[in-house]
């Protein structure tokens, strides 16, 4: 119940903040709030916090770790494409 109330509060916060101009920080704040909400759901609703098996933790962490690799390495390509000139152009 407490977790649900926290989720609702964060939800209201992120909806309210979207109406206020925080400049470049808008997206960062919205994503941090989303990450906190996701963490609450995974840890409490999905019982990972109370999970007895260590192997379940390993699987969950590995899953999100691979997601990070997927996003981070894709972006290291796209965000650095303009850095060096292309020979012949």
Partner 1 sequence: MTAQHGLRHHFADMEQQRESATLGMWVFLITEIMFFGGLFAAYVVYRTTHYEAWVIGSEHMEFWIGTINTVILLCSSLLVALAVHASQIGRNRTTALYLWIASAMGVAFLVLKAIEYRAHYLEGSVPGAFWHMAVPDRPSVEMFFYIYFVMTGLHALHVTIGIVLLAVIGWYAAKGRYSPQYHNPVHVSGLYWHFVDVVWIFLYPLLYLIGHKKA
CA 33/CA 23 separation, integer angstroms? 16
Task: Kindly identify the residues of this chain, within the stretch 7-66, that bind partner 1 according to CB under 8 A.
Answer: 7-8, 11, 14-15, 18-23, 26-27, 30-31, 33-34, 37-38, 41-42, 44-47, 51-53, 55-56, 59-60, 62-64, 66
Considering the complex, what minimum distance in angstroms separates the CB of residue 86 from partner 1?
Answer: 17
- Contact yes or no for 40/81 (Cβ under 8 A): no
CA 51/CA 73 separation, integer angstroms? 31
Alpha-carbon dihedral 79, 83, 88, 89, rounded to 10 degrees = 70
Binding residues (CB under 8 A) for partner 1: these are 1, 3-4, 7-8, 11, 14-15, 18-23, 26-27, 30-31, 33-34, 37-38, 41-42, 44-47, 51-53, 55-56, 59-60, 62-64, 66-67, 70-71, 74-75, 78-79
């Amino acid at each position: 119940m407490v977790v649900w109330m926290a989720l609702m509060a964060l939800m209201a916060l992120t909806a309210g903040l979207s109406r206020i101009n925080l400049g470049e920080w808008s997206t960062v704040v919205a994503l941090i709030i989303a990450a906190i909400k996701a963490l609450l759901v995974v840890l409490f609703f999905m019982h990972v916090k109370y999970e007895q098996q260590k192997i379940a933790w390993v699987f969950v962490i590995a899953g999100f770790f691979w997601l990070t690799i997927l996003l981070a390495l894709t972006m290291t390509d796209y965000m650095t494409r303009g850095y060096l000139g292309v020979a012949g152009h």
